[in-house]
Amino acid sequence: MNVNIHQSWKPYLQEEFNKPYFKDLVNFVKAEYSKHKCFPPGKQIFNAFEFCHFDAVKVVIIGQDPYHGVGQAHGLCFSVNEGISHPPSLINIFKEIENDLGVPYPKNGNLDRWAKQGVLLLNATLTVRSHQAGSHQKKGWEQFTNALIEQVSTHKKDIVFLLWGGFAKTKSTLINEDKHSILTSGHPSPLSANRGYWFGNKHFSKTNFLLEQVGLKAVVW
């Protein structure tokens, strides 16, 4: 099956594209987009891989589901299109960056500027029905993104994986900790952050320290 994903990823994912579950997933997604309003727009489903090519990956942030409000999701986890109000989790991410690194809170919530620096902003599920969180879970996306995480773990080295919240932490079993660094904390959502599980994790300065230790360029957060 030929999937419209950046060429750099195809050698590592082609095997998945040819599996029966992925064909079923494609049929499900096509049917959902034809019958319902779904996000992100079809051409942006694989945006995370378009902005961050396989060879460039040095940080992986794992989210769960795309935003399900109009105009928000564009294929990068936690990111919204420019001009869209920042969702609560993104607000708390920017606040932590401000506290950690002294970087002023930005007006633009579009994180493609991170992706272009080698930050893979990966949702475990890549599509969602409008205003129905989790509506495309357990349809095959998780199997695909799990395989993708394993491919990155196997074929890359010195990646910093940021696992925020209980769901993301389950992905640690897919990662070779002898080759990569894993930073965990609570989720940036208000429910977790307001209980003290997010703020102060200093993941952004820690990530840059780890990257520089192996001779890679720090991320301009």
Structure tokens at 185: 């904390």
What span, in angstroms and rounded, lies between the C-alpha atoms of 86 and 110? 9
CA distance 215 to 10: 27
Catalytic residues: 65
Query: Which element (helix H / strand E) includes 196?
Result: none
pTM of the entire structure? 0.97
Q: Which residues pair with 56 in a beta bridge?
A: none
Q: Residue 129, SS3?
A: strand
Residue-level pLDDT at 3: 85
Strands of 103-143, DSSP E = 119-123, 128-129
Q: How high is the mean pLDDT in each 10-residue block of the chain (221 residues)?
A: 89 96 97 97 97 98 96 98 97 98 97 98 98 97 98 98 97 98 97 92 98 98 98
Per-residue model confidence (pLDDT) at position 9: 98
Residue 132 DSSP class: B
pLDDT for the residue numbered 1: 65
